[in-house]
């Protein structure tokens, strides 16, 4: 069984569109994250949720809206997509206070 899964794996879309990425973890972790990795491979945290509550929001444009229906799921909705949103988005999960994060396979978003 996959520990952290994301869908879709690839997403190609036009500027101005709205899209969502879904993430699920079956590890029972209480904390989930979204990261953005740009073309230079810099890995930046976007959001962190603990037991469905937002605990970190790292100066991300409000076009990005995370939603956690339960502690096993953390979805990312992006409105009005821009060229600069093109990147690989990783979901991850962990125990809060633990040093080990488990990453999903990533979603490669390309905005044309």
Residue closer to other proteins, measured from CB, 70 or 100: 100
Measured from the CB atom, the residue of 50 and 75 that comes closer to other proteins is: 50
Minimal distance, residue 64 CB to other proteins, in Å: 17
Q: Which of 13, 52, 65, 102 binds other proteins (CB under 8 A)?
A: 102
Which residue among 64, 65, 73, 105 contacts other proteins (CB under 8 A)?
A: 105
Answer yes or no: are the C-beta atoms of 91 and 23 closer than 8 Å: yes
**Which residues have a Cβ under 8 Å from the Cβ of 48 and sit 6 or more positions away?**
31, 32, 33, 54, 55, 56
89 counts as binding other proteins under rule CB under 8 A: no
Binding flag, residue 69, other proteins (CB under 8 A): no
Instruction: Centre a 10 Å sphere on the Cβ of residue 81 and count the other Cβ atoms it contains.
Output: 21
User: What are the residues whose beta carbons fall under 8 Å from the beta carbon of 35, sequence distance 6 or more?
Assistant: 43, 44, 45, 46, 89, 90, 91, 92, 103
Using CB under 8 A as the criterion, which residues of the chain lie in contact with other proteins when the complex forms? 31, 33, 35, 40-45, 48, 50, 55-56, 58, 90, 92, 96-106
């Amino acid at each position: 069984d996959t520990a952290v899964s994301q869908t879709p794996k690839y997403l190609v879309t036009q500027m101005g569109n709205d899209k969502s990425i879904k993430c699920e973890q079956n590890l029972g972790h209480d904390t989930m994250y979204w990261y953005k990795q740009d073309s230079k491979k810099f890995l930046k945290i976007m959001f962190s949720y603990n037991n469905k509550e937002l605990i970190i929001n790292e100066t991300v444009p409000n076009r990005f809206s995370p939603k956690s229906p339960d502690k096993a799921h953390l979805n990312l909705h992006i409105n009005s997509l821009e060229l600069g949103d093109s990147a690989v988005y990783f979901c991850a999960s962990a125990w809060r206070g633990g040093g080990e994060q488990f990453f999903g396979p990533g979603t490669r978003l390309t905005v044309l």
